[in-house]
Chains A and B, each alone.
Chain A
Amino acid sequence: MTPALEINQLTGGYSQRRPVLHGISFTVEPGRMTGLIGLNGAGKSTTIKHILGLMLPHSGEVRVAGVKLEEDRDRFRSSCAYVPEQPSLFPNLTVAEHLRWTAMAYGIEPGEAENRTAKLAETFRMDKAMGNLPDTLSKGMKQKVMLMNALLVSPPLLIIDEPFLGLDPLATRALTGALDDARAQGSAILLSSHILPALERRADNLVVLHQGRIIASGTPEEVKKQAGGAPTLDDAFETLVLDAEQGGGSKLGR
């Protein structure tokens, strides 16, 4: 089966002379959830920008649903949806119009778009806010709109940066339910988060980044083993980062 995301020996960043990422490789299989974790400045956002095609690799490659951006831009972009950490909505579109625009952009049929929109509005308890412009929404509601847009598309790869920030408990529950549904339908999910207990519970795999290199990866249990059998993911992460800073470098060499 073609991986939803395949990153091979990716080196990249803003400057060719000082790359942020140093030859990282990992894959995300369909229906699986992978957590991307690391300290601030570890390279998570740069990795996401490369996956989205907002930055081009210095070397190595990124494939989404088997294609590279330069091979088939349309299919590449159609195969992933992205929710940034800071909700960035179009100021002049209502919530319903955001979803309509997304459905048009991804080529979803009107009837299907309407059904999915109604379901998402109910799931995220946004029924009454569908006609609102973004300037009347709270930060949490804006984040819900971003998530609804991404889930509406139901693409092979969903990339979500800090999904739980700003959401109330009911919305968090709705999101986890919606992510489970998306996985059940075959979507792969890449989550970037600092909330490690949530990832420990939900992610199938983890990728631990530090200073642009992968210092550990595998299932949460495997990552904990790589950290000398740490009891929790928080402990494992701390051990891995401290080891790497004390000269361990990339434990996995990739």
Chain B
Amino acid sequence: MGANEEEKLGELRKLRASRAKAFRQEIYPHFRYVFQSGFGLVLSALGITLVMGYIRTLMNMPEDWPADIVGWIVIALICLYTPLRTYFQPSDTVFVLPLERGVLDGILRPLVRKSMISSAIRVLVAFGIFVPLYVRAPVTEAAADSRSMWALGSLLALFAVWSVHAAWLERRMADSVWRIGLMLGRWAAVVAIVAALLLKSFGLALGFAVLTVAVWYLLSRLSPKHTLPWDRLIAEEGAARRRWNRFLGWFVDLPTEFARPARRNWIAWTAERLPWRRENAWRYLYAKTMLRSETFGALWRWSVLLMLITAFAGKPVIDLITFVIAFFVGGLQITELGRVRFAENASVVPLAQEERGRSIASIARVCGLAMVVLLWLVACLPNWPFNPALWIPALAVALFWTGWLLPRRVMKSFEEDED
């Protein structure tokens, strides 16, 4: 590699590092709100519960504890996780394409190697935690006795490294049918080989793993490959950003360039039920906008989570507190509808602009009331026969909040922004 190319490669590495830094700077500030929302508490509680459950299980291992299934699922999932953050952007196909060889040797190969090492470490850590359960659980005791834990751990780590390399080859496939076929093949291989290595005769499992991997590599040679799969890596980078966006969108209102509408056909059809009248045109627009927005996604996930909590808590007081938190916070999420803005084509249609505020309020009311009714039913039904002195006032407050206060709040927020 000449001095000039080395210099360009250095610039590319700097470019990637600066993009990674920019991405971190973009998302880190949102974590403050994620933790403020109580997610941190839930996560901590979950972590403590898992650690306590782990220690309790080790100290007093139940006869039927499913160590085989738990180990199989956890280790297989870790082996299947093969991310590759390149921070590529669509413009790179124009500006960075001429340096393809340099990008491949100087950036991507080290990235793939790094991903292999990370994956191996993840598997080793998970296996290290799993080993005490594996050797003590009655269902896996015999299998554990028949193999060396060092050998098994090393093989699983090696297998995780293979999975990362195989995922890299899949990305390079020129034909998407082959790419998807090989990906499904890898998934099936991972699931089968992890199960075999943990639970079946070690020698046979080893033979099966070698044979499966060899067949997979042979198949991967049958179809042409890109040297550097630009489009795939750019698409994966976009998908990774959207996943972060979706996760953060559960807790915070993200800038619009970050959000992407979701189709949500399962609920978006409800807007079609609005009668075909000019007066309903704004309602139709805001209903579709709401139903496909990240705000609705966050509201829906929030409601489902709290419905699950109320369904399984089984204690009226906890159910009531959860119901109150659910409809209040859910209502606050709905107020985001008041911040929706459209381009100028919405200003030149023959519709009264002053109707927009009222339409937003009516969509917010319908969403809020639907959420309250669902939450209330799920909270009440497990407590049947329910205590009317507790649940009727709770419902009345919820209806007042979502049916009267909330729509006014949304309309006010819209009108203030319009001014």
Q: Which residues of chain B are within 8 angstroms of A91 by Cβ–Cβ distance?
A: 261
Is the Cβ of A88 less than 8 Å from the Cβ of B343? Answer: yes
Q: Is A116 an interface residue (CB 8 A)?
A: no
Q: How far is the CA of A89 from the CA of B260 in the complex (A)?
A: 14
Is the Cβ of B288 less than 8 Å from the Cβ of A92? Answer: yes
Nearest chain B CB to A157's CB is how many angstroms away? 12
Q: How far is the CA of A53 from the CA of B349 in the complex (A)?
A: 11
Given contacts A92-B261, A92-B292, A133-B261, contact A104 B278 (CB under 8 A): yes
Is the Cβ of B345 less than 8 Å from the Cβ of A84? Answer: yes
Q: Which residues of chain B are within 8 angstroms of A80 by Cβ–Cβ distance?
A: 348
Of chain B, the residue at the smallest CB distance from A75 is B350
Among A13-21, A94-102, A225-233, the one that faces the other chain is A94-102
Task: Number of A interface residues at 8 Å Cβ cutoff, please give it.
Answer: 30
Q: How far is the CA of A208 from the CA of B191 in the complex (A)?
A: 71
Q: Is B285 an interface residue (CB 8 A)?
A: yes
B contacts, CB < 8 Å to A: 260-261, 263, 276-278, 280-281, 284-285, 288-289, 291-293, 342-352
Q: Which residues of A100-124 have CB atoms within 8 Å of chain B's CB atoms?
A: 100-102, 104-107, 110
Given contacts A54-B347, A84-B344, A93-B285, contact A107 B261 (CB under 8 A): no
- Which 4 A/B pairs are nearest by Cβ-Cβ distance? A88-B343, A77-B350, A92-B292, A78-B350
Of chain B, the residue at the smallest CB distance from A100 is B284
Is the Cβ of A77 less than 8 Å from the Cβ of B349? Answer: yes
Q: Is A82 an interface residue (CB 8 A)?
A: yes
Q: Which residues of chain A are within 8 angstroms of B278 by Cβ–Cβ distance?
A: 104-107
Of chain A, the residue at the smallest CB distance from B278 is A107
Q: How far is the CA of A106 from the CA of B345 in the complex (A)?
A: 13
Is the Cβ of A90 less than 8 Å from the Cβ of B260? Answer: no
A88 partner, pick from B263, B345, B351, beta carbons under 8 A: B345
Q: Is A39 an interface residue (CB 8 A)?
A: no
Q: Which residues of chain B are within 8 angstroms of A245 by Cβ–Cβ distance?
A: none
B281 partner, pick from A75, A89, A105, beta carbons under 8 A: A105
- 1/0 per residue, CB under 8 A from B, across A191-224: the answer is 0000000000000000000000000000000000
Is the Cβ of B348 less than 8 Å from the Cβ of A77? Answer: yes
Chain A CB within 10 A, most for which of B260, B347, B349 = B349
Known: A77-B348, A78-B350, A107-B350. 19 other contacts (CB 8 A): A52-B348, A54-B347, A74-B350, A75-B350, A77-B349, A82-B345, A88-B343, A88-B344, A90-B285, A90-B346, A91-B261, A92-B288, A93-B285, A100-B284, A102-B349, A105-B278, A107-B278, A110-B276, A133-B261
Q: Is A235 an interface residue (CB 8 A)?
A: no
Chain B CB within 10 A, most for which of A73, A74, A91, A110 = A91
Q: How far is the CA of A120 from the CA of B213 in the complex (A)?
A: 53
Is the Cβ of A105 less than 8 Å from the Cβ of B350? Answer: yes
Q: Which residues of chain A are within 8 angstroms of B285 by Cβ–Cβ distance?
A: 90, 93, 101
Q: Is A181 an interface residue (CB 8 A)?
A: no
Of chain B, the residue at the smallest CB distance from A102 is B349
Nearest chain A CB to B276's CB is how many angstroms away? 5
Q: How far is the CA of A202 from the CA of B261 in the complex (A)?
A: 40
Nearest chain A CB to B265's CB is how many angstroms away? 9
Q: Can you give 5 contacting A-B residue pairs, CB < 8 Å?
A: A90-B285, A92-B293, A93-B285, A105-B351, A135-B260
Is the Cβ of B263 less than 8 Å from the Cβ of A133? Answer: yes
Q: How far is the CA of A91 from the CA of B290 in the complex (A)?
A: 11
Is the Cβ of B350 less than 8 Å from the Cβ of A101? Answer: no
Nearest chain B CB to A94's CB is how many angstroms away? 8
Q: How far is the CA of A82 from the CA of B342 in the complex (A)?
A: 15
Of chain A, the residue at the smallest CB distance from B264 is A92
Is the Cβ of A104 less than 8 Å from the Cβ of B288? Answer: no
Given contacts A110-B276, A133-B261, A135-B261, contact A92 B289 (CB under 8 A): yes
Is the Cβ of B344 less than 8 Å from the Cβ of A97? Answer: no
Q: Which residues of chain A are within 8 angstroms of B342 by Cβ–Cβ distance?
A: 90
Q: Which residues of chain B are within 8 angstroms of A54 by Cβ–Cβ distance?
A: 344, 347-348
Q: Which residues of chain A are within 8 angstroms of B261 by Cβ–Cβ distance?
A: 91-92, 133, 135
Chain B CB within 10 A, most for which of A84, A102, A105 = A105
Nearest chain B CB to A62's CB is how many angstroms away? 13
A106 partner, pick from B276, B288, B350, beta carbons under 8 A: B350
Of chain A, the residue at the smallest CB distance from B345 is A88
Q: How far is the CA of A72 from the CA of B346 in the complex (A)?
A: 18
Q: Which residues of chain B are within 8 angstroms of A105 by Cβ–Cβ distance?
A: 278, 281, 349-351
Nearest chain A CB to B115's CB is how many angstroms away? 29
Q: Which residues of chain A are within 8 angstroms of B351 by Cβ–Cβ distance?
A: 77, 105
Q: Which residues of chain A are within 8 angstroms of B352 by Cβ–Cβ distance?
A: 74
Is the Cβ of A101 less than 8 Å from the Cβ of B284? Answer: yes
Is the Cβ of A90 less than 8 Å from the Cβ of B284? Answer: no
A104 partner, pick from B277, B291, B343, B348, beta carbons under 8 A: B277
Is the Cβ of B277 less than 8 Å from the Cβ of A53? Answer: no
- 1/0 per residue, CB under 8 A from B, across A51-67: the answer is 01110000000000000
Q: How far is the CA of A162 from the CA of B132 in the complex (A)?
A: 71
Nearest chain B CB to A109's CB is how many angstroms away? 8
Chain A CB within 10 A, most for which of B260, B281, B285, B350 = B350
B288 partner, pick from A73, A76, A93, A110, beta carbons under 8 A: A93
- 1/0 per residue, CB under 8 A from B, across A152-175: the answer is 000000000000000000000000
Q: Which residues of chain B are within 8 angstroms of A76 by Cβ–Cβ distance?
A: 350
Given contacts A100-B284, A104-B284, contact A82 B348 (CB under 8 A): yes
Q: Which residues of chain A are within 8 angstroms of B280 by Cβ–Cβ distance?
A: 104
